[in-house]
Structure 1
Amino acid sequence: MVKPAFVSKLQGIYWTVTGVWPLVHMPSFIWVSGPKEDLWLVRTVGLLLTVIGAVLLAAGLHRRVTAEIKWLGVGGAASMAFIDFYYALNDVIWNIYMLDGVAELFLIALWVSAKKVQNTESTSL
């Protein structure tokens, strides 16, 4: 059984790196993932993944992985996996995205096998 903080850090690092990638070097991102028509949408998804990844990473580093953090990780990974598989299998995006889909399913499996998360009450942000 893995610790929730480990899963949160792992997903946080993965999402932060993959989110930042198109923001810092779009040509290599497109070379690997295929041509894109709306680069603003690629940047939007990149920024969202970066922010969510940073939050997951911070929660894991501070060992403050609550049920909400777990559901953010699971729900986000499930959403990404669905998009990856659905659109790759329908030839909308390159099949390379299915590798990300597998990684997202792996993250979900880690979350499911993780020990119980914290249930802390806090009034501070």
Structure 2
Amino acid sequence: MRDGGAGRALAIGQGAFYLATGVWPLLDEASFEAVTGPKREPWLVKTVGVLVAAIGATLAAAGVRRSITPEVAALGAVTAAGIAVVEGWYAGRRRRISPIYLADAAFEAALAAAWGIALARRGGTDERRARRRRGGA
């Protein structure tokens, strides 16, 4: 999936979203909490924000450079799936965080699914495509 296509659009879109949501609590903690609810550990929110922004920058850069490797696709898919599970569990099942996180969990699950579809349409990983070209399984 090194060329453009759906993977490129996903990487740029998810990257931009993660950059924006990652830096938001760093720039304006009050507005972030107004939307997402009060936080017990502001330092933890900021730490997660830095990590999400770093992932976003990586995804966006890969998309702009048209270099969507299997590792980049995995970063996008696994991050989105992980966030979806955590938010779904703590907002839905445990009710420990604001219900607004359920909306983000649904969005994150859609991102993870979109990465799966993009990979399937591209024929899987670069290694599998190379094996098919050589006549292997």
Is the TM-score greater than 0.5? yes
Quick one: higher RCO (CA 8 Å, sep 6+), 1 or 2? Answer: 1
Q: 2: CA distance between counterparts of 1:95 and 1:15?
A: 19
Segments of structure 2 that go 5 or more residues without pairing to the other structure are 128-137
Q: Which consecutive segments of 4 or more residues in structure 1 shift more than 4 A?
A: none
TM norm structure 1? 0.90
The reply on whether 1:6 has 2:9 as its aligned counterpart is yes
Query: Deviation of residue 113 (structure 1)?
Result: 1.6
Segments of structure 1 that go 5 or more residues without pairing to the other structure are 121-125
Matches within 5 A, 1:40-79: 40-79=43-82
Q: 2: CA distance between counterparts of 1:19 and 1:82?
A: 18
SS for the counterpart of 1:103 is helix
Query: Deviation of residue 70 (structure 1)?
Result: 0.5
Q: Max radius of gyration: which structure?
A: 2
Amino acid across the alignment from 2:25: P
Given that residues 70 and 111 in structure 1 are in contact (C-alpha distance below 8 angstroms), is that contact kept between their aligned partners in structure 2?
A: yes
Give the total of aligned pairs: 119
2:126 to 91, 107, 119: 119
Name 1:96's counterpart in structure 2.
100
Query: Deviation of residue 66 (structure 1)?
Result: 0.3
Amino acid across the alignment from 1:91: R
Q: 2: CA distance between counterparts of 1:60 and 1:118?
A: 17
Q: Percent identity among equivalent residues?
A: 39
Q: 1: CA distance between counterparts of 2:126 and 2:16?
A: 24
Q: 2: CA distance between counterparts of 1:14 and 1:3?
A: 16
The reply on whether 1:31 has 2:38 as its aligned counterpart is no
TM norm structure 2? 0.82
CA deviation map 1:58-87 (0-9, x unaligned): 000001000000011111001100111000
Q: 2: CA distance between counterparts of 1:70 and 1:49?
A: 15
SS for the counterpart of 1:12 is helix
